[in-house]
Amino acid sequence: MRPFEHLTVQAADEAIQALAGGDGGNTRLIAGGTDLLPLLKDGLVNPGRLIDIKPARALRHLTFDADGSLRIGALTTLAEIERSSQLAERLPLLRQSVVDAATPQLRAMATVGGNLLQRSRCWYFRGPFDCWLKGGTVCYMRDGENKYAAIFDQGPCRSAHPSDLAPALVALDATVSISGPAGSRTTPVAEFLAPPTNDERVEYRLRPDEMVTEIRIPAEAIAGHGVYLKAMDRRAWAFALVGAAAQVTILDGKVARARLVFSAVANVPWRATAAEALLVGQTLTPDLAAQAADAAIAGASPLAHNGYKVPLARELARRAILAAANLWTETN
Protein backbone atom coordinates (compact mmCIF):
# COMPACT_ATOMS: atom_id res chain seq x y z
CA MET A 1 0.00 0.00 0.00
CA ARG A 2 1.40 3.39 -0.99
CA PRO A 3 1.41 6.26 1.49
CA PHE A 4 -1.60 8.58 1.18
CA GLU A 5 -3.11 11.60 2.85
CA HIS A 6 -6.20 10.94 4.97
CA LEU A 7 -8.81 13.46 5.99
CA THR A 8 -12.26 13.38 7.49
CA VAL A 9 -15.41 15.28 6.56
CA GLN A 10 -18.67 15.71 8.45
CA ALA A 11 -21.14 16.13 5.59
CA ALA A 12 -21.77 15.45 1.92
CA ASP A 13 -21.15 19.04 0.79
CA GLU A 14 -17.73 19.01 2.44
CA ALA A 15 -16.95 15.77 0.64
CA ILE A 16 -17.99 17.30 -2.72
CA GLN A 17 -15.72 20.27 -2.08
CA ALA A 18 -12.81 18.03 -1.23
CA LEU A 19 -13.41 15.93 -4.35
CA ALA A 20 -13.46 19.04 -6.51
CA GLY A 21 -9.87 19.75 -5.56
CA GLY A 22 -8.87 16.16 -6.08
CA ASP A 23 -7.42 16.24 -9.59
CA GLY A 24 -8.75 13.45 -11.74
CA GLY A 25 -9.40 10.57 -9.38
CA ASN A 26 -6.40 11.08 -7.13
CA THR A 27 -8.83 11.74 -4.30
CA ARG A 28 -11.17 8.92 -3.25
CA LEU A 29 -13.96 8.73 -0.71
CA ILE A 30 -13.81 5.97 1.86
CA ALA A 31 -16.80 4.76 3.86
CA GLY A 32 -16.75 1.17 5.16
CA GLY A 33 -13.63 0.47 3.13
CA THR A 34 -14.49 -3.20 2.77
CA ASP A 35 -13.65 -3.10 -0.94
CA LEU A 36 -11.40 -0.06 -1.15
CA LEU A 37 -8.87 -1.36 1.38
CA PRO A 38 -8.26 -4.63 -0.47
CA LEU A 39 -7.99 -2.68 -3.73
CA LEU A 40 -5.42 -0.40 -2.10
CA LYS A 41 -3.45 -3.31 -0.66
CA ASP A 42 -3.35 -5.06 -4.00
CA GLY A 43 -2.24 -1.86 -5.72
CA LEU A 44 -5.33 -1.77 -7.94
CA VAL A 45 -6.07 1.80 -6.91
CA ASN A 46 -3.41 4.21 -5.72
CA PRO A 47 -5.07 7.43 -4.57
CA GLY A 48 -2.98 10.19 -3.10
CA ARG A 49 -5.77 11.26 -0.79
CA LEU A 50 -8.60 9.47 1.03
CA ILE A 51 -11.58 11.33 2.44
CA ASP A 52 -13.38 9.53 5.22
CA ILE A 53 -17.11 10.23 4.96
CA LYS A 54 -18.24 7.94 7.79
CA PRO A 55 -18.94 10.86 10.17
CA ALA A 56 -21.60 12.25 7.75
CA ARG A 57 -24.50 10.95 9.85
CA ALA A 58 -27.11 12.56 7.61
CA LEU A 59 -26.27 9.97 4.98
CA ARG A 60 -27.06 7.08 7.29
CA HIS A 61 -30.78 6.41 7.54
CA LEU A 62 -33.69 4.21 6.46
CA THR A 63 -36.84 6.29 5.98
CA PHE A 64 -40.29 5.27 4.78
CA ASP A 65 -41.92 8.43 3.46
CA ALA A 66 -45.62 9.25 3.75
CA ASP A 67 -46.22 8.17 0.15
CA GLY A 68 -44.95 4.70 0.97
CA SER A 69 -41.59 5.06 -0.78
CA LEU A 70 -38.31 4.25 0.92
CA ARG A 71 -35.14 6.32 1.13
CA ILE A 72 -31.87 4.72 2.19
CA GLY A 73 -28.86 6.88 2.99
CA ALA A 74 -25.68 5.88 1.19
CA LEU A 75 -23.84 5.28 4.46
CA THR A 76 -26.48 2.90 5.80
CA THR A 77 -24.71 -0.37 6.51
CA LEU A 78 -25.79 -3.77 5.26
CA ALA A 79 -26.10 -4.81 8.90
CA GLU A 80 -28.64 -2.02 9.47
CA ILE A 81 -30.72 -3.31 6.55
CA GLU A 82 -30.40 -6.82 7.94
CA ARG A 83 -31.55 -5.76 11.41
CA SER A 84 -34.45 -3.53 10.34
CA SER A 85 -37.73 -5.04 11.51
CA GLN A 86 -39.58 -2.59 9.27
CA LEU A 87 -37.79 -3.93 6.21
CA ALA A 88 -38.28 -7.50 7.31
CA GLU A 89 -42.00 -6.85 7.32
CA ARG A 90 -42.50 -4.45 4.41
CA LEU A 91 -39.65 -5.29 2.05
CA PRO A 92 -38.36 -8.81 2.74
CA LEU A 93 -36.54 -8.94 -0.62
CA LEU A 94 -34.20 -6.15 0.40
CA ARG A 95 -33.42 -7.68 3.76
CA GLN A 96 -32.94 -11.15 2.30
CA SER A 97 -30.52 -9.81 -0.28
CA VAL A 98 -28.03 -8.84 2.42
CA VAL A 99 -28.33 -11.61 5.00
CA ASP A 100 -26.01 -13.96 3.12
CA ALA A 101 -23.72 -11.23 1.81
CA ALA A 102 -20.13 -11.52 3.07
CA THR A 103 -19.83 -12.01 6.85
CA PRO A 104 -21.29 -10.29 9.93
CA GLN A 105 -18.05 -8.33 10.37
CA LEU A 106 -18.11 -7.11 6.78
CA ARG A 107 -21.83 -6.29 6.86
CA ALA A 108 -21.23 -4.17 9.96
CA MET A 109 -18.84 -1.99 7.95
CA ALA A 110 -20.08 -2.25 4.37
CA THR A 111 -22.40 0.54 3.18
CA VAL A 112 -25.17 0.59 0.61
CA GLY A 113 -23.38 3.24 -1.45
CA GLY A 114 -20.13 1.31 -1.36
CA ASN A 115 -21.94 -1.86 -2.33
CA LEU A 116 -22.97 -0.27 -5.63
CA LEU A 117 -19.39 0.86 -6.23
CA GLN A 118 -17.64 -2.43 -5.49
CA ARG A 119 -15.32 -3.67 -8.18
CA SER A 120 -15.28 -6.98 -9.97
CA ARG A 121 -14.23 -10.08 -8.03
CA CYS A 122 -12.76 -11.67 -11.15
CA TRP A 123 -9.43 -13.19 -10.10
CA TYR A 124 -7.74 -12.00 -13.25
CA PHE A 125 -8.79 -8.45 -12.32
CA ARG A 126 -7.73 -8.85 -8.68
CA GLY A 127 -4.56 -10.80 -9.40
CA PRO A 128 -1.27 -10.01 -11.16
CA PHE A 129 -2.71 -10.06 -14.69
CA ASP A 130 -2.86 -7.22 -17.16
CA CYS A 131 -6.51 -7.86 -17.97
CA TRP A 132 -8.78 -5.77 -20.18
CA LEU A 133 -10.74 -4.36 -17.25
CA LYS A 134 -7.52 -2.93 -15.82
CA GLY A 135 -6.55 -1.38 -19.15
CA GLY A 136 -5.01 -4.39 -20.89
CA THR A 137 -6.10 -5.98 -24.12
CA VAL A 138 -7.25 -9.46 -23.09
CA CYS A 139 -10.09 -10.83 -20.99
CA TYR A 140 -8.28 -13.84 -19.49
CA MET A 141 -11.56 -15.15 -18.13
CA ARG A 142 -12.90 -16.08 -21.56
CA ASP A 143 -10.48 -18.95 -22.13
CA GLY A 144 -9.26 -19.36 -18.58
CA GLU A 145 -10.53 -20.45 -15.18
CA ASN A 146 -14.04 -19.15 -15.73
CA LYS A 147 -16.31 -21.13 -13.41
CA TYR A 148 -17.36 -17.85 -11.78
CA ALA A 149 -17.69 -15.93 -15.07
CA ALA A 150 -20.74 -14.28 -16.61
CA ILE A 151 -22.95 -16.44 -18.81
CA PHE A 152 -24.38 -13.47 -20.68
CA ASP A 153 -22.04 -11.63 -23.02
CA GLN A 154 -22.12 -7.86 -22.59
CA GLY A 155 -18.84 -6.80 -24.13
CA PRO A 156 -15.12 -7.38 -23.83
CA CYS A 157 -15.18 -8.34 -20.13
CA ARG A 158 -16.61 -11.59 -18.77
CA SER A 159 -16.59 -10.84 -15.07
CA ALA A 160 -19.79 -11.46 -13.12
CA HIS A 161 -21.29 -8.73 -10.95
CA PRO A 162 -20.81 -9.70 -7.30
CA SER A 163 -23.46 -7.67 -5.49
CA ASP A 164 -26.43 -9.37 -3.82
CA LEU A 165 -28.03 -6.05 -2.94
CA ALA A 166 -27.87 -4.52 -6.43
CA PRO A 167 -30.16 -7.04 -8.19
CA ALA A 168 -32.69 -6.55 -5.39
CA LEU A 169 -32.53 -2.78 -5.92
CA VAL A 170 -32.99 -3.21 -9.67
CA ALA A 171 -35.97 -5.48 -9.02
CA LEU A 172 -37.41 -2.71 -6.85
CA ASP A 173 -36.98 -0.03 -9.56
CA ALA A 174 -34.63 1.82 -7.20
CA THR A 175 -33.00 5.07 -8.17
CA VAL A 176 -29.72 6.44 -6.97
CA SER A 177 -29.17 10.07 -5.97
CA ILE A 178 -25.82 11.52 -6.90
CA SER A 179 -24.28 14.80 -5.82
CA GLY A 180 -21.53 16.67 -7.59
CA PRO A 181 -20.19 20.19 -8.02
CA ALA A 182 -23.06 21.03 -10.40
CA GLY A 183 -25.76 19.84 -8.00
CA SER A 184 -27.69 16.60 -7.75
CA ARG A 185 -28.99 14.10 -10.26
CA THR A 186 -31.03 10.95 -10.02
CA THR A 187 -30.64 7.84 -12.14
CA PRO A 188 -32.11 4.32 -12.01
CA VAL A 189 -29.79 1.78 -10.38
CA ALA A 190 -30.35 -0.30 -13.52
CA GLU A 191 -28.60 2.44 -15.54
CA PHE A 192 -26.10 3.52 -12.89
CA LEU A 193 -24.66 0.02 -13.09
CA ALA A 194 -23.54 -0.55 -16.65
CA PRO A 195 -21.17 -2.94 -18.38
CA PRO A 196 -17.64 -1.63 -18.75
CA THR A 197 -16.81 -0.18 -22.15
CA ASN A 198 -13.57 0.63 -23.89
CA ASP A 199 -13.78 4.19 -22.61
CA GLU A 200 -15.14 3.44 -19.16
CA ARG A 201 -13.62 0.24 -17.81
CA VAL A 202 -15.70 0.16 -14.67
CA GLU A 203 -19.09 -1.29 -13.74
CA TYR A 204 -20.79 1.97 -12.67
CA ARG A 205 -21.22 5.45 -14.07
CA LEU A 206 -19.99 8.02 -11.58
CA ARG A 207 -17.63 10.89 -12.28
CA PRO A 208 -14.56 11.29 -10.01
CA ASP A 209 -16.03 14.47 -8.52
CA GLU A 210 -19.41 12.92 -7.69
CA MET A 211 -20.70 10.88 -4.77
CA VAL A 212 -23.69 8.62 -4.14
CA THR A 213 -25.90 10.05 -1.41
CA GLU A 214 -29.15 8.10 -1.35
CA ILE A 215 -31.18 5.24 -2.80
CA ARG A 216 -34.92 5.60 -3.35
CA ILE A 217 -37.43 2.81 -3.84
CA PRO A 218 -40.89 3.74 -5.13
CA ALA A 219 -44.06 2.72 -3.33
CA GLU A 220 -45.38 0.68 -6.30
CA ALA A 221 -42.42 -1.69 -6.05
CA ILE A 222 -42.73 -2.02 -2.29
CA ALA A 223 -46.38 -3.00 -2.67
CA GLY A 224 -45.38 -6.40 -4.05
CA HIS A 225 -43.68 -9.31 -2.38
CA GLY A 226 -40.31 -10.78 -3.17
CA VAL A 227 -37.39 -12.98 -2.29
CA TYR A 228 -33.69 -13.23 -2.98
CA LEU A 229 -32.18 -16.69 -3.42
CA LYS A 230 -28.44 -17.16 -3.47
CA ALA A 231 -26.39 -20.20 -4.48
CA MET A 232 -22.91 -20.37 -2.96
CA ASP A 233 -20.09 -22.86 -2.94
CA ARG A 234 -20.01 -22.81 0.83
CA ARG A 235 -22.75 -21.85 3.24
CA ALA A 236 -21.36 -18.45 4.30
CA TRP A 237 -18.83 -15.87 3.13
CA ALA A 238 -18.98 -16.54 -0.58
CA PHE A 239 -20.01 -14.43 -3.53
CA ALA A 240 -23.03 -15.77 -5.36
CA LEU A 241 -22.54 -18.47 -7.96
CA VAL A 242 -25.91 -17.15 -9.07
CA GLY A 243 -28.41 -15.04 -7.18
CA ALA A 244 -32.02 -14.39 -8.14
CA ALA A 245 -34.16 -11.49 -6.93
CA ALA A 246 -37.87 -11.65 -7.69
CA GLN A 247 -40.51 -9.09 -6.74
CA VAL A 248 -44.08 -9.81 -7.78
CA THR A 249 -47.34 -7.92 -7.28
CA ILE A 250 -50.50 -9.97 -7.63
CA LEU A 251 -53.84 -8.20 -8.05
CA ASP A 252 -57.12 -10.06 -8.41
CA GLY A 253 -55.29 -13.34 -8.80
CA LYS A 254 -53.16 -12.10 -11.71
CA VAL A 255 -49.58 -10.89 -11.87
CA ALA A 256 -49.71 -7.10 -12.10
CA ARG A 257 -45.98 -6.40 -11.84
CA ALA A 258 -43.04 -8.75 -11.99
CA ARG A 259 -39.31 -8.24 -11.74
CA LEU A 260 -36.69 -10.95 -12.02
CA VAL A 261 -33.05 -9.91 -11.70
CA PHE A 262 -29.95 -12.10 -11.42
CA SER A 263 -26.62 -11.48 -9.79
CA ALA A 264 -23.40 -13.07 -11.02
CA VAL A 265 -24.57 -13.92 -14.55
CA ALA A 266 -23.46 -10.73 -16.34
CA ASN A 267 -21.19 -7.70 -15.90
CA VAL A 268 -24.01 -6.00 -13.99
CA PRO A 269 -27.32 -7.19 -12.50
CA TRP A 270 -29.21 -8.96 -15.28
CA ARG A 271 -32.88 -8.20 -15.61
CA ALA A 272 -34.81 -11.02 -17.28
CA THR A 273 -37.40 -8.91 -19.06
CA ALA A 274 -38.64 -11.73 -21.28
CA ALA A 275 -39.47 -13.79 -18.19
CA GLU A 276 -41.21 -10.82 -16.58
CA ALA A 277 -43.31 -10.29 -19.71
CA LEU A 278 -44.47 -13.91 -19.64
CA LEU A 279 -45.72 -13.51 -16.10
CA VAL A 280 -47.57 -10.20 -16.30
CA GLY A 281 -51.32 -10.54 -16.71
CA GLN A 282 -51.24 -14.28 -15.97
CA THR A 283 -52.24 -16.47 -13.08
CA LEU A 284 -49.01 -17.68 -11.52
CA THR A 285 -48.68 -21.47 -11.60
CA PRO A 286 -45.71 -23.80 -11.28
CA ASP A 287 -45.82 -24.39 -15.03
CA LEU A 288 -45.80 -20.70 -15.78
CA ALA A 289 -42.91 -20.17 -13.38
CA ALA A 290 -40.96 -22.89 -15.18
CA GLN A 291 -41.68 -21.29 -18.56
CA ALA A 292 -40.58 -17.92 -17.27
CA ALA A 293 -37.41 -19.47 -15.85
CA ASP A 294 -36.66 -20.99 -19.25
CA ALA A 295 -37.15 -17.58 -20.84
CA ALA A 296 -34.89 -16.00 -18.24
CA ILE A 297 -31.84 -17.92 -19.42
CA ALA A 298 -32.50 -17.69 -23.13
CA GLY A 299 -29.51 -16.21 -24.88
CA ALA A 300 -26.99 -17.38 -22.29
CA SER A 301 -23.62 -18.23 -23.82
CA PRO A 302 -21.67 -20.09 -21.16
CA LEU A 303 -17.93 -20.65 -21.35
CA ALA A 304 -15.92 -23.84 -20.75
CA HIS A 305 -16.38 -24.05 -16.97
CA ASN A 306 -19.52 -22.10 -16.12
CA GLY A 307 -22.15 -24.07 -17.99
CA TYR A 308 -23.61 -25.15 -14.65
CA LYS A 309 -24.74 -21.57 -14.09
CA VAL A 310 -27.40 -21.93 -16.76
CA PRO A 311 -29.47 -24.66 -15.06
CA LEU A 312 -28.66 -23.08 -11.71
CA ALA A 313 -30.02 -19.69 -12.81
CA ARG A 314 -33.09 -21.36 -14.27
CA GLU A 315 -33.77 -23.26 -11.06
CA LEU A 316 -33.25 -20.24 -8.79
CA ALA A 317 -35.50 -18.17 -11.07
CA ARG A 318 -38.25 -20.79 -10.90
CA ARG A 319 -38.02 -21.01 -7.13
CA ALA A 320 -37.78 -17.23 -6.66
CA ILE A 321 -40.85 -16.54 -8.81
CA LEU A 322 -42.86 -19.13 -6.93
CA ALA A 323 -41.57 -18.00 -3.55
CA ALA A 324 -42.39 -14.36 -4.33
CA ALA A 325 -45.98 -15.50 -4.80
CA ASN A 326 -45.81 -17.77 -1.73
CA LEU A 327 -46.14 -20.84 -3.97
CA TRP A 328 -42.77 -22.45 -3.27
CA THR A 329 -42.60 -25.52 -1.09
CA GLU A 330 -40.04 -28.25 -0.67
CA THR A 331 -41.83 -30.48 -3.17
CA ASN A 332 -42.17 -28.09 -6.14
Partner 1 sequence: MPIRIVTTHLEFEGQVEEVRVVLEGEEPPAWGPDTPFQVVGKPTARVDARERVTGAAEYSYDVQLPGMLTAAGLRSPHPHARISRLDASSALAVPGVRAVYSHLNAGDFINPSSGKPVFGNELLYHGDLVALVVAETPEQAREATRAIDVAYEPLPFVTAPDAALAANAPMVNTAVPSNTISDEYPQVYQRGDVEAALAQAEVTIETRMETPAALHNSLETHGGAASWDGSRLTVWSSTQGVFGARQQAAAALGLPMTAVQVITQYMGGGFGSKLGVHRSGLLAAYASRQLGLPVKYMLDRTEENLDAGNRPPSVQAYRLGAAKDGTLAALDLAVIHNVGANGLWSSPVALPAKELYQCANVRTTDRAARTNLGTLAAFRAPGVVEGIAGLEVAIDALATELGMDSLELRRKNFAERYQLLDRPYARKMLLDCYRIGAERIGWETRDAEERRYPGGRSGHLRRGIGMASQLWGGDGGPPAQAIAKLLPDGTAVIITGTQDIGTGTRTVLAQIAAEELGYPLERVRVELGETAHGVFSPMSGGSMTLASVGPAVRMAAVEARKELTEVIGQLAEAPADALDIRNATVFNRETGAEMGGVSTYLEQLGGHEITAKGMRGPNAEDVTVRTFGAQFAEVEVDIGTGAVRVVRIVAVHDCGRIINPLTYSSQIEGGIIQGLGFALTEQRIVDERLGMVMNPNLGDYKAPTIRDIPQIDIVLLNEPNVVANTLGVLGAGEPPIIPTPGAIANAVGHALGKTVTRLPLTPDRVLDMLSTTTERS
311 makes contact with partner 1 (CB under 8 A): yes
Q: Which of 217, 243, 247 is nearest to 230 (CA)?
A: 243
Burial letters 247-283, b for 16+ CB under 10 A, else e? bbbbeeeebebbbbbbbbbbbbbbbbeebbebbeeee
The half-sphere exposure of 325 on its side-chain side, counting CA atoms within 13 A, is 28
Q: Which is nearer to partner 1, 107 or 309 (CB)?
A: 309
136 makes contact with partner 1 (CB under 8 A): no
Amino acid identity, position 127: G
Residues 6+ positions from 235 with CB-CB distance below 8 Å? none
Least distance (Å) between residue 311 CB and partner 1: 6
Using DSSP's 3-state secondary structure scheme, residue 258 falls into: strand
66 makes contact with partner 1 (CB under 8 A): no
With contacts defined by CB under 8 A, name the span among 21-29, 138-146, 170-178, 199-207 that binds partner 1: 138-146
Among 29, 30, 157, 316, binds partner 1 (CB under 8 A): 316
Among 99, 194, 231, 290, binds partner 1 (CB under 8 A): 231
Using DSSP's 3-state secondary structure scheme, residue 292 falls into: helix
Question: Given the DSSP bridges, would you call strands 254-263 and 211-217 parallel, antiparallel or unpaired?
Answer: unpaired
With contacts defined by CB under 8 A, name the span among 22-30, 53-61, 136-144, 258-266 that binds partner 1: 136-144
User: What is the strand order of the sheet 225-231 is part of?
Assistant: 225-231, 242-251, 254-263, 270-271
Positions in 108-127 near partner 1 (CB under 8 A): 123-124, 127
Which residues are bridge partners to 261 per DSSP? Answer: 245, 271
Among 24, 128, 183, 253, binds partner 1 (CB under 8 A): 128
Among 60, 107, 259, 319, binds partner 1 (CB under 8 A): 319
331 makes contact with partner 1 (CB under 8 A): yes
Among 5, 13, 65, 145, binds partner 1 (CB under 8 A): 145
Residues in contact with partner 1 by the rule CB under 8 A:
1-3, 43, 123-124, 127-129, 140, 143-145, 147, 231-238, 241, 305-309, 311-312, 315-316, 319, 329-332
